Amino acid sequence: MSEDKNDAKNDGVITCDACPVLCRIREGKTGACSRYGNVEGMLTRTDPLVVTQQISNENGDLVPFLPDAKDGKQLEWDGSLNFQSPSFVTGIGATTTYPDYKPAPFIVSSEHHGADMVTVVSEGVFSYCGVKVKIDTDRYIGPEAAPVRVKGEQVGHVTTAEYGSQMLALGGVHHLTGGSKKEGNATCQAMLALCNKHAVEMTIDGGATLTVEAGKPPVIDGNIEERMRVGCGSATIGMFALQWHGHADEVIVVDDHITGVLSEHQSGKFLDMPPAGIRVRGRRSTAGRYFQVADPGAGWGGTDITEPLSIIESIDPKTAWSGMRLLMVSTTGEDHAYFVLDDDLKPVAVEMPAELAVSVDRIAENCEPALSTVLFMGGAGGSLRAGVTVNPVLLTRSVRELRTRVTCGGAPVYVWPGGGITVMVDVLRMPDNSFGYVPTPALVAPIEFSMPRDEFVALGGYEDHIKPLADVLREGGLHGVQPLAWEGNNPWPLAERRALEDV
């Protein structure tokens, strides 16, 4: 916190210097971001400093967020600060380094397994940031590169689909600052909501209406998705061929990308299945694998078909036979039908035998739940690095060579290869409401750099600003310290990192 030099002249109004907006704040009020306020004439961060702790119960067991495997119940913890427990100071509530010349607000020394460690803690103002959204579904959401809109403003686009998932690329500096003010604000607020694990409704030009929330099933055109596919049509053939052998003479697994035909497929060949003479529409890739059998859509296997027989182009009377058994199924098992060819070799729908019903249920059992995953991605540029060292490039090299660990709210991040420090983190592994914003517009996200003390000194770090962990826990910010139980699935941020040459 800082005191405004012109307090007396400005009738108690102070100027916030935590971001370039420079809000003028009257006493008892907060700035536009609601993160800083005027408290008795002092510029003050209004939220407590968040510290994650490895809390133990009376048996010495660590308290995780996840249920205890023994009885399915969470270990109890009253949420109070424990000075004896291993603690990690996060950037949540820490304040920023803006206007960039200042050391980070907290440079914390602590001991981990006998090693003297330093963690540099701040909240980064990320003007260069975006969100990647992975949506587990085969449903058609819109053409690749189609604009994604929130409240009518474009906030990103559909990007390349991955195995069993549709993908969105949202945010980025061009949407935040390169368009209209309205577009920038809509983009910032959509990303803020997604990163703080709230639901956001969006529309895709030429496609669907989506509701996305981290860790929850996506809602597509009003329908809640339940499962992602077990694999493409060809993979499904390979996985379940043995279970179909002897119970069906032909199996067609309908898929928008690769539709599989069992008797033609290598799996059918290895099982000595005779040709069935059924030719499906589309472009034959390799034996038993067909592309483009239908257009993308909300029907079977991510196609636009609702009548599976429509993808059958022909049935060869020289090969097929009366009484031939045909199973058609989607890659999630949600859609399925069973037919027997009559004397005219026309498929007639009949009740599915129990043995095949079991295999269809097993496809569904092997599908993972459909979830929306939100990944925050940001570039840790000059202001963040300058808060660590007087020579910022040394920090970049230290991160690259794995001598310095980067975390966001204590959660592990993926550092992208190449120049700079570009990080990506799963928001579900971060504490709730880890993100804020400034109306430039930009997101504010916690970031921590942890390293051995001698590494920090070698980087040209601000050694005079190091403060022992115990002092930080006692003092915190004006609003104190908020302890949170450490997320047990996350690696402890102060665990040793080996140099690149030792990996």
Q: Is 444 part of any domain? A: yes
Residues 109 and 148 in one domain: no
Q: Is 34 part of any domain? A: no
| Domain final position from 178, 199, 224 | 224
Query: What pLDDT score was predicted for residue 5?
Result: 40
Each residue's pLDDT, cut to its tens digit, for the chain (503 residues) gives: 444 444 444 678 999 888 888 899 999 899 888 888 898 888 888 888 999 998 765 555 565 544 444 455 555 677 788 888 899 999 999 888 777 778 999 999 999 888 899 999 999 999 899 999 999 998 999 999 999 999 999 999 999 999 889 999 999 999 999 999 999 999 999 999 999 999 999 999 999 999 999 999 999 999 999 999 999 999 999 999 999 999 999 999 999 999 999 999 999 999 999 999 999 999 999 999 999 999 999 899 999 999 999 999 999 999 999 999 999 999 999 999 999 999 999 999 999 999 999 999 999 999 999 999 999 999 988 778 999 999 999 999 999 999 999 999 999 999 999 999 999 999 999 999 999 999 889 999 999 999 999 999 999 999 999 999 999 998 876 568 899 999 888 999 987 654 433 33
Residues 237 and 351 in one domain: yes
Residues 356 and 299 in one domain: yes
Q: Is 375 part of any domain? A: no
Residues 259 and 339 in one domain: yes
| Domain final position from 194, 224, 254 | 224
- pLDDT by residue (tens digit) across 359-409? 999 999 999 999 999 999 999 887 789 999 999 999 999 999 999 999 999
Q: Is 19 part of any domain? A: no
Closest CA relative to residue 288, chosen from 259, 261, 257: 261
Nearest-angstrom CA–CA distance, 55 and 2: 34
Residues 60 and 78 in one domain: yes
Are the C-beta atoms of 36 and 468 separated by less than 8 Å? no
Single-letter amino acid code for the residue at 268: G
Residues 240 and 351 in one domain: yes
Q: Is 18 part of any domain? A: no
Q: Is 496 part of any domain? A: no
Domain, as residue range, for 203: 129-224
Query: What pLDDT score was predicted for residue 247?
Result: 96
Helices assigned H by DSSP within 330-475: 354-365, 382-386, 392-400, 453-458, 469-475
What is the number of domains present in the chain? 3
Predicted TM-score (pTM) of the model is: 0.88
- pLDDT by residue (tens digit) across 220-250? 999 999 999 999 999 999 999 999 999 999 9
Residues 187 and 272 in one domain: no
Q: Is 22 part of any domain? A: no
234 Cβ contact partners less than 8 Å away, ≥ 6 residues apart: 253, 255, 258, 259, 260, 265, 288, 289
| Domain final position from 339, 365, 391 | 365
Strand, helix or coil at 30?
strand
Instruction: Provide the pairing of β-strand 153-162 with 414-415.
Output: unpaired
Closest CA relative to residue 310, chosen from 347, 285, 283: 347
Residues 167 and 200 in one domain: yes
Residues 71 and 169 in one domain: no
Nearest-angstrom CA–CA distance, 450 and 403: 9
Residues 136 and 122 in one domain: no
Q: Is 500 part of any domain? A: no
